[in-house]
Chain A
């Protein structure tokens, strides 16, 4: 059996682990475009802050690849897939034959069409280790940095560089920060917190036109900059799947088992569009835990086991300049705003289930208990709802449930 995996990151690493749990013998080849060992992508902002280094960013040790007998081809791009012949053609001309193929190609930064953007020499994105290092080497004490995008990636970038430069301004078309994951009140808390640390925001506005050192906003405001970071969002890398004739929408379409429209081709991670458990429709969930869980599921099925990942929800923990935000699930149904001493808590309830939560600051404590309630569709009338709203405690569950949780292996 020959397993080929395109993309050397979280999803394919999880896939390796799952394949090897079943099949100790089959050969595994991973093809990675980036010329680095597999690293944790979310750590690039921490690297710039000096909170980690390139050694510690490596996701799995060298020994892992030896023990699991994995061949990693680094710095080479997979060009095309021939599904009839079951081969992958690499850009260097080499052709690899596969029995089972995993597409774990991740996502790319979306670059909006902006007049004059090509003339901006100091232009960056913030998705890869190489880009992060290139940005770092261009930072000066007197640099004025303009970041386009007040989402997760834009704000992590802002946090990473604020202490190294003269100013950081953030522009976003949305009227508030982290628009896709927070409600009005939580967004406001985050913006206030970040402004106090020196970030400048231009929200509900966008760049109409650029010159090499100036951005003219829709509102007429002109912002001078030395460096421009584009962080308006990511798009799944579907090109190779599309050209191979696999079913794609925004992402590569997969089922609960990580299967694409070809029985021998699987896909996992940021490049996919798979079933989300609450709405029951396929969505792109470009988050690390999802990439891991999808990769693991695909790996099990590729090696002949049976796995179904039917608990996919958006779940994200984000820390920004000391403020911790945790968001899980969807914001539908009835909302319960729970007063908190040091933070903000809003829970969403639908059809006797918890379906989502927004937690800021202290409210995030032990929040995995809420996540588990969402993922496991716990019937809310089976527990002490008032107590669990107040604080995520196992105490709120029925005694028999607690007996299972704490009285036997889980």
Chain B
């Protein structure tokens, strides 16, 4: 299965992946309208300290501890892509407690959100990858 992988040494710390993610999942057509003057709510997080930076999002684990810990049965695997049914989520934070990569965060709507590899929005391809100017994240089979 194709997943997102990180090439840490290429990351510029520009946070563009976060902006592309927030836009892709905003449901708004116009990128400027989607992002301007907004506290963005990205599903990918750039960790940055000193000269090191890299992006982290859901690893789409083969043994997803989030699924096994969700008290609402809201997280499922769709052919390996780990997705969340927000209508079932009760924001208990069990998945946050369980995910070894810190890949889930609350969305503005009072439910949990996570990267679904842009399979559940209108992008088709992970938007973060398209936004990264330096191939510091790639979408491929490994």
Q: Which residue of B lies closest to A392 (CB)?
A: B102
CA distance A43 to B59 in the complex (A): 27
Q: Are B96 and A367 in contact (CB under 8 A)?
A: yes
Q: Are A409 and B3 in contact (CB under 8 A)?
A: yes
Q: Interface residue tally of chain B, by bracket?
A: 35 or more
| B27 cross-chain contacts in A, Cβ below 8 A | none
| A366 cross-chain contacts in B, Cβ below 8 A | 96, 99, 102
Contact status of A289 and B54, CB under 8 A, knowing A319-B92, A371-B98, A409-B142: no
Within 8 A of A (CB), among B11-37: none
Contact status of A395 and B68, CB under 8 A, knowing A56-B88, A371-B100, A402-B8: no
CB distance from B135 to the nearest CB of A (A): 14
Interface residue? A354 (CB, 8 A):
no
Q: Which interface residue of A292, A293, A366, A394 has the most chain B CB atoms within 10 A? A: A366
Q: Are B47 and A394 in contact (CB under 8 A)?
A: yes
Contact status of A369 and B102, CB under 8 A, knowing A43-B72, A43-B90, A409-B62: yes
Contact status of A43 and B93, CB under 8 A, knowing A56-B88, A372-B100, A387-B49: no
Interface residue? A408 (CB, 8 A):
yes
| Count of chain A residues near B, Cβ 8 A | 47
One digit per residue, 1 when the CB lies within 8 angstroms of any chain B CB and 0 when it does not, for chain A 363-402 equals 0111111011000000000000001000011110001001
Interface residue? A280 (CB, 8 A):
no
Q: Are A293 and B92 in contact (CB under 8 A)?
A: no
Interface residue? B91 (CB, 8 A):
yes
Within 8 A of A (CB), among B97-117: 97-102, 104-105
Contact status of A317 and B6, CB under 8 A, knowing A368-B102, A395-B47: no
Contact status of A319 and B93, CB under 8 A, knowing A406-B54, A407-B6: yes
Q: Are A60 and B8 in contact (CB under 8 A)?
A: no
| A60 cross-chain contacts in B, Cβ below 8 A | 73
| B96 cross-chain contacts in A, Cβ below 8 A | 317, 326, 364-368
Can you list 9 residue pairs at the A/B interface with Cβ under 8 Å? A59-B73, A289-B68, A292-B68, A296-B68, A317-B93, A319-B92, A319-B93, A372-B100, A407-B142
Among all A-B residue pairs, the 7 with the closest Cβ atoms: A366-B102, A372-B100, A368-B99, A406-B6, A289-B69, A317-B93, A317-B94
